Every structure is written in C-alpha cells, then in structure tokens.
Chains A and B, each alone.
Chain A
Amino acid sequence: MGVMKRVSLVFKAKANKALDKMEDPRETLDYSYQRQLELLTKVRRGVADVATSRKRVELQMNQLQQQANKLEDQARKALGMGREDLARAALERKASAQAQLNDLQVQYAQLQAEEEKLTVASQRLQSKVDAFRTRKETIKATYTAAEAQTRINEAFSGISEEMGDVGMAIQRAEDKTAQMQARAGAIDELMASGALDDAVGGSRRDDIQSELDMMSASSDVERELSRLKGEITATAPKQLEGGANGNSQATTQSQAQDQGGPYAPPPAQAQPAGIPVSDLPAAEPQDGEGS
C-alpha cells in the first residue's frame, strides 16, 4: 500500500477512535463542535504568535541593516582619509553583519510563509466549522439517534481530517517560531553582552568609529584653523577701515546724547568737566560702538 493511502488510513483510524468513545452519537456532534471552536481559537492565536515572531526578526534585520550601512560609511570615510587598513576592517565587519542579515532574511521568509499558511488554514477551518454547525442542527432536528449515526459519522470524519491537518499546521508553525525565537533571543543576548558590538554595533563605541572621529576631529581643527587664518589675512584691512568709520559715526551720536540727553551731568559738575566734555566720547569709542 502506498504512502498516500496509509496516511489517509491513519487519519481515519484517529477519527474512528474518537467516534467510538461516544455513547450517544448526537453527543458527538456537540462535543466535536466544541473541539472545533477551541481549535479555531488556537489557530488564530498561532497566526498572531507567528506574526509577533516575524516582527521581531524584522526589527533585528533593520538593526543589522543600519549597522551595515554605518560600516560602509565608515569604510568610505577611512578611504577618504587614506586609511585603507581601517576601511578594510570596517568592510570585514560589514560582511559579517551582512551574513547575519542574509540568514535572518531566509528565516523571515519562512515565518512569512508559515503565517500565510496558517491564515489560510484558519479560514478553511472556519468554513468547515460553519458547515458542520449547519449539518449538526439538521441532523439533530431531523433524525433519531439511530438514524443519525451514518450522517454524523460522515460529518465527523470530514471535519476530523481537517482538524488533524490544522493541528499539524499549528504544530509546525509553533516549531518554526520556537526556533526563530531562540535564534532571535541569542542575537539579542549577544548584542546586550557587547560581544557583537564590533560587528553589529551597540552601546559601546566601536574602535573604527573612534579612530575615524579622532582623525576627523584633528582634521576639523586643522581646517578651522586654516579657515580662520584665511579670514584674518583676507579681511583684516577691511575690518580696520570699517571699524574706523563706525567709530567716527558713533562718536558723533554719543556726543549728541551726552550733551542733550538725560545723562547730561548736573550743572555743578558740568562746569569743571565742561571743558573736557567734548573730548570724552572720543576717548571711549567702545561706548559708541555699543549704542
């Protein structure tokens, strides 16, 4: 006997065993219906579990992708600074992050497929459960216990096969999810422990970045320095001229203020200070600039 037939007989045997346990055939209908509803709940929960697991993998993939991008960026900067050794180190780490990413992508696709299968399975089971409920009511209403037997057996066997199938689908999805979670957990732990930091980044600052930062910081300082030097040589004469003009204008203004404004000294003091008053603002050009 072929494999296909033997598998179908195993399913049939399972259904018959469940049927034999029932004393009143109509009891079977209600009992089976309850089991079907339970299984529906279970398969829906299964879909949600796989989705959660898939999202977690997605999150890790995003982290790894960011890390790979960052490392490539570092390699580019290092090359720009003529540090091929650093660029090489960054690219090696990028390759390692990329390898993990590729691995996760395969797992992700599997979880996605599993989620789709379970979703379809849950829809199929829902249709069959609905059909069973209708059949169940008809059988209960129309037939005596003895007459109902054959029809009950048919309905029961049909749905029992589906339930076995869905039950296996849930089991397979659970296995895949458990594997995936163990894997994701391991990556999370590695990230938290810092062991993957060099390759995958994390809280600790990686050495490539700090060396790049140091180099770029010192080159920044140099650049700033030369910019400032350039500014000074290029604009120094202009600034002096501008400053002189401003001062002379400011002087006129503060002179006017000192003479007519509220800050005019009292008459008693104005007399002794009167002679140098006209010279005072000119001696304080800072005040003039400030106003």
Chain B
Amino acid sequence: MIVRILGEGQFRIGDAAAAELNRLDTELEAAVNHNDEAAFATALDGLLAQVRAQGSPLPPDTLEESDLILPHQDSSMDEVRKLLTDEGLIPG
C-alpha cells in the first residue's frame, strides 16, 4: 500500500510492515483520545520511523493516491485533531 508522510512524500509499504503500522496507529489514536501528548509523540515518532525504514519512496512524478496519510514529523496533538476534522488545515 501507499503511505504519505505529510511534508515528506509517499512511500510504498509491504503488508508485513503495514501490520506494525496499524498497531502503532492504534496507539496514536488512543493517545489522541486520552489527550496524552507524550504517548502521542512517541507513537507518531514510531510510525514515521517505521514508514521511513520499511517503505520505499515513490518517484516524485507519480500521481497515485495514498491509502494512508501520516501527520508531519513535529505535529502537535492539536494539529492532528484539526487535521482529522478538516478545520481548514488543508488549504484550498
């Protein structure tokens, strides 16, 4: 599947790595729900590291949609909440 890290680009990820991504994603979601900034940062860092390590970058001239999109490296929890509700974080 194709995963985008906002601000970094798209990566193609194998199924095995995707399973680990889903586990970390569940932690990320729990952290957002519990308003736990520290757990949020840890989970996000883990997710990004996993994608960078396991994924192969897509060539820049592809026009494929991503299956999953990850927040920016140093996103705050607040930014991610806005991203989820689309409160004007994505321009245009």
List the interface of chain A (C-beta within 8 A of B): 2-8, 10-14, 18, 35, 117, 120-121, 123-124, 127-128, 130-132, 135, 154-155, 157-159, 161, 163-165, 167-172
Given known A8-B69, A10-B84, contact A130–B89 (CB-CB < 8 A): no
Q: From A167, which residue of chain B is reached at the shortest CB distance?
A: B91
CB < 8 Å neighbour of A168 from B7, B28, B59, B62 = B7
Given contact pairs A3-B32, A121-B7, A167-B92, enumerate 19 new A-B contacts (beta carbons under 8 Å): A2-B25, A2-B29, A3-B80, A4-B21, A4-B47, A5-B68, A7-B68, A124-B60, A127-B60, A128-B60, A130-B61, A155-B63, A159-B63, A163-B92, A165-B7, A168-B72, A169-B6, A171-B89, A172-B7
List the interface of chain B (C-beta within 8 A of A): 3-4, 6-7, 9, 21-22, 25-26, 28-29, 32, 47, 59-72, 80, 83-84, 86, 89-92
Among A3, A11, A121, which residue has the most Cβ atoms of chain B within 10 A?
A: A3
Q: How close is B78's CB to chain A, nearest CB, in angstroms? A: 13
B92 neighbours in A (Cβ, 8 Å): 14, 18, 35, 163-164, 167
B7 touching A8, Cβ below 8 Å: no
Q: How close is B47's CB to chain A, nearest CB, in angstroms? A: 8
CB < 8 Å neighbour of A14 from B3, B6, B47, B86 = B86
CB < 8 Å neighbour of B68 from A4, A130, A157 = A4
B29 touching A158, Cβ below 8 Å: no
CA gap between A6 and B84 in the complex, in Å: 6
CA gap between A168 and B69 in the complex, in Å: 13
Q: How close is A131's CB to chain B, nearest CB, in angstroms? A: 4
A158 touching B62, Cβ below 8 Å: yes
Q: How close is B20's CB to chain A, nearest CB, in angstroms? A: 12
A4 touching B7, Cβ below 8 Å: no
Q: From A110, which residue of chain B is reached at the shortest CB distance?
A: B74
CB < 8 Å neighbour of B63 from A2, A8, A123, A154 = A154
A165 touching B6, Cβ below 8 Å: yes
Among B4, B68, B84, B91, which residue has the most Cβ atoms of chain A within 10 A?
A: B91
CA gap between A2 and B47 in the complex, in Å: 12
Q: From A165, which residue of chain B is reached at the shortest CB distance?
A: B6
CA gap between A168 and B88 in the complex, in Å: 10
Q: How close is A13's CB to chain B, nearest CB, in angstroms? A: 7
B4 neighbours in A (Cβ, 8 Å): 8, 161, 165
Given known A124-B9, A169-B7, contact A8–B66 (CB-CB < 8 A): yes
A14 touching B90, Cβ below 8 Å: yes
Q: How close is A89's CB to chain B, nearest CB, in angstroms? A: 40
A8 touching B67, Cβ below 8 Å: yes
A7 neighbours in B (Cβ, 8 Å): 68-71, 80, 83-84
Q: How close is B49's CB to chain A, nearest CB, in angstroms? A: 14
Q: How close is A164's CB to chain B, nearest CB, in angstroms? A: 4
Q: How close is A31's CB to chain B, nearest CB, in angstroms? A: 12
